[in-house]
Amino acid sequence: MRIESFIGVRFLRSPRQTRSISVVTWISAVGVMLGVTALIITISVMNGFRENLFLAVTGTMAHARVLPPEGDLDSPHLASLTERLKELPQVVATAPYLSRQAFLRAEGEYRAIILRGIDPAVEGRVSELPRFVLVGGSEGELVRAKPGQALAGLAYPPPAGQRAGILLGRPLAASLHLHIGDELDVISTAQRITPIGPVPLIKRFRLAGVFETGLGGVDEVTAFVDLSLAQKLYRAGDRVSGVSVRVRDPQSIDGDALRAALPGYQVRTWAEENRNIFQVMRLEKLGVFLILTLIIVVAFFNIIGSLIMQVLEKRKAIAVLKSLGASNRMVRRVFFMQGVWIGIVGTLAGLGLGLLGCWALATFNLVPLPEGVFPLARRLPVLIEPTDLLLITGSSFLICLLVTLYPASAAARTKPVENLRNE
C-alpha cells in the first residue's frame, strides 16, 4: 500500500474531534451503496419486462415478414423467395402463412377475427407461439403445452372421427364461453355460388387449445388453423399471404438489408411494427436511470462535505506532513484516496446488494404479478445485463473520484506556517 493510501485510510479510521464528520462519511458510503442498489434492481426489472414483451410480440409473429407488393404468393414465387431467403446470412428459418379476416360463431355469438393459416410442423421454428399455448389437463384445467405438442392439435387432416383443430386467444375463447374440446364455426369471407345466391363458406372446428401472450390486441382477435385448411376455406389454392422469417439476432435485425436483398417485396420487421412501444420503454429506462442517479448525487455532496470538514479538522496534521517534506501532490493524493475508498466500498457494496435483490426477486414471489400480464413469468421478471452493471458501477466510481478533487485541492493549499505558528 502506498503511503498516500495508508494515510488516507488512517484519516478515515482515526478518532474524530467532531463525531458528526465520521457519521457523514459513513452516510456518504451508504448513500452510494443504496443508489447503486436501486439502479441495478430497477434497471434489471425493466430489462426483464422488455424481454417478456419481446417474447409476447414474437409469440404470434416472426422476427420479420416478407410479403409480395400486392396480392398473394403462388407456389413458384414462394419456392423462389424461400430459396433466396435461405441464402441470406442473417436468416435462420422461414415458414409460409395465410392471413385473412373471418367471423367466429359459437352459441349464437359472433366475433370478428384475424384467421392465420400456419404450418404446425415448422411454425415453431420462426415464432414463439408454442411457448404460449395452453391445452386441457387431466382434470380439465389449462396447462402449458409441451413444445412438441403445442401445435399438434392443428394438424390436418385430423384423426378419424374428430373435427379440425383451431387455436384461439384465451380472452377470445372466454368471450365466447368456449372450453377445450368445444366446437365452433368459422365463417369465411370467401363465398360459394348456390341456387339461392352467394353463400359464405362455413367450417366447423374443434377448440384444440388456447394461447395467451399478454397482448390484448393480439389475444382477443387472433386464431390459428392449419395452412392447407385455411387455403381451402378461402379458396386460395396454393397461394399464401407471405413468408415468416426468423433471424439470428432479432435485437439488431436489419430490415434495410433484407429489403435490399429482396427487391420487389415488402419486408416488415418486429422492431418496425412495434417501434413506439419499445421506444417508450427505452425512454422510461433512461428516465429511471437519471432519476435514481440523484440518490447517488446526494451521496456525492455528502462526500464533498465530509472531506471538506475533515480537511479543516486535519489542518495541523497536514501542516506537520508538509513540514516533514510532503509535497502538495502527495497531500492531494491523501484526500483523493479517501474518496477512492468511499467509492470502492459504496459501489461494491451496492453491486453485491443489488445482485442479491435481483436474485431474491427472481427466486421468490415477492411482488405478485396480475394473471395474464406475462404468461411466461411466474415472478417479477429480472434480466441482468453486464453492460448495465458496468455503466452503473463505472459511473458511480468515476463521480466519486471527481467530487474529491476540490477537497483534495483545498488540503494541498494548506500553509504549514500559519497552522503551526501557535503550537
The whole-chain average pLDDT of the chain stands at: 81
Model confidence band, residue 398 (pLDDT cutoffs 50, 70, 90): confident
pLDDT at 94: 93
Q: What is the pLDDT of residue 12?
A: 59
Q: Give yes or no: residues 180 and 235 share one domain.
A: yes
Comparing 13 with 31, the larger pLDDT belongs to 31
Minimum mean pLDDT range among 191-200, 387-396, 411-420: 411-420
Residue 184 DSSP SS3: strand
Give 145-186 pLDDT, tens digit per residue: 887 788 888 988 888 888 999 999 989 999 999 999 899 999
Answer with the residue of higher pLDDT: 351 or 400.
351
Any domain includes 266: no
First CA to last CA distance, the chain? 31
368-386: average pLDDT: 76
What are the percentages of helix, strand and coil residues in the chain, rounded to 5?
50, 20, 30
In a domain, 208, yes or no: yes
| Cis? peptide before 68, omega within 30° of 0 | no
Under the banding of pLDDT at 50, 70 and 90, the label for residue 58 is: confident
Which domain does 340 fall in, by range?
3-56+278-420
CA pair distance 341, 310, nearest whole angstrom: 15
Higher per-residue confidence, 285 vs 262? 262
The mean per-residue pLDDT over the stretch 119-123 comes to: 91
The rounded distance, in Å, linking the Cα atoms of 114 and 421 is 90
- What length does the chain have? 423
Final residue belonging to a domain, choices 246, 267, 294: 246
Inter-axis angle of helices 275-313 and 405-412, nearest 10: 20
Q: Are residues 242 and 286 in the same domain?
A: no
Mark whether 41 and 75 lie in a shared domain.
no
CA 4 from centroid of its chain's CA atoms: 45
Q: Give the mean model confidence (pLDDT) for residues 219-246.
A: 92
pLDDT of residue 421: 55
Q: Which residue has the cell 404446425?
A: 120
The total of structural domains in the chain comes to 2
pLDDT at 358 over 90: yes
Of residues 28 and 386, more confidence is placed in 386
Query: Is 0.85 surpassed by the pTM of this model?
Result: no
Residues 206 and 71 placed together within one structural domain of the fold: yes
Query: Does pLDDT of 280 surpass 90?
Result: no
Spatial contact of 29 and 353, defined as CB atoms under 8 Å apart: no
Containing H/E element for 269? strand 266-269
Q: Which amino acid is at 361?
A: L
What confidence tens digit (pLDDT) does each residue in 184-215 have? 999 998 877 777 767 788 899 999 999 988 87
Same domain, 235 and 101: yes
Q: Is residue 327 part of a domain?
A: yes
More confidently predicted of 26 and 82: 82
Last-in-domain residue among 228, 246, 264: 246
